[in-house]
Structure 1
């Protein structure tokens, strides 16, 4: 038993060292540009459904695009008023964006009855697409980033954003030179592997992969801590264990 325990300790140490080495290697090889992405100075529109989506799911993308010198805009389609906390959550969103480097002047929060924060309500695809396209054209956007068909958590408001972006892309309505990236949804096991999902993410990466450095992980966690009204015990565990607080894999439409 003592020998077996010692072997397990050695295996755990080697595994831990291996992942720390992989992370350090990734940090050293971060390229100033990623194939297929617009270059420095480009304008990117991140499209989310609720306040806290930007920190819970897209922090690696936001901070990764900052490395590429993108100017990031945020369009949030609801105030997150499911529990009548809309006004609080709007303030929390602006605080989170400040931590992530998105100025308040680049943040738009839609707060109307057409797009309620409610997983039981399916937002109208044409309405979402119309609002989204107006913002793309108004800000001269080069890249739109949002959820994929799985919406990470399967939330209907998340998937509604994907449907709208997919429709605009399929119908050729996005302006010339404007592309769209969607955040890859992964299975439940991978979702909570934290940094241990890095080898799988590296292996399966198709179009864009953003991995946070140690300093950036702390920055992402500070952004999430701004959403005080949402930090129930299970979300605190999410911050510690979710790969989305450290890794984002994205696909072009």
Structure 2
């Protein structure tokens, strides 16, 4: 089997996640992406009438999902990228539910990570994985290109689109696979506030080969380019496409 390309650096990935706690101490810290993901998972479980027992929640730094599931009677284990290598077999298995929030977009081997989730479920167990997908942050991308000028650098992650996600679920052997996407729209008066919101939520760069920091002139070009997309109210509406993958492990256990 071919080794997947090394796009993301595990150490940088852990560092990005580690900074969340400190940034969330700020009174105006953003948390709308994780809040949307938690609400969506609970809605999906209610819709399919799945009452999880033994549950693993990965990546929910807010703690909200685990707390809500425990109130419903679930036995909840929690993990983040510091404790769990999602590209390796899970140390525990036989989970009735695995919910992964905001982490799978920065693994190097996404097909392998999806297989490991399936294998950590008990037969009939359900998995739900959400992360920021393709089509997100278009104005930020344009601003970074403008800042770099004639020598653009790789500053933002490659992102998975919904069609590729559906194919990956089938390859990973998930039963009843579903891939869907929803859009969050958030308005900003400055590029700096958008970047701050990304850092608050652990959505900063974890690229293995990070680009050099923008110089002062380049940063000013990026700021100006970002504001060119502003509407009559002076605000730029940025989009976050939240991709969600869901499915089950076959009752046959494979």
Q: Same fold (TM over 0.5)?
A: no
The TM-score, its normalising length taken from structure 2, stands at 0.31
Please identify which structure carries the higher strand content.
Answer: 2
The TM-score, its normalising length taken from structure 1, stands at 0.31
Please identify which structure carries the higher helix content.
Answer: 1
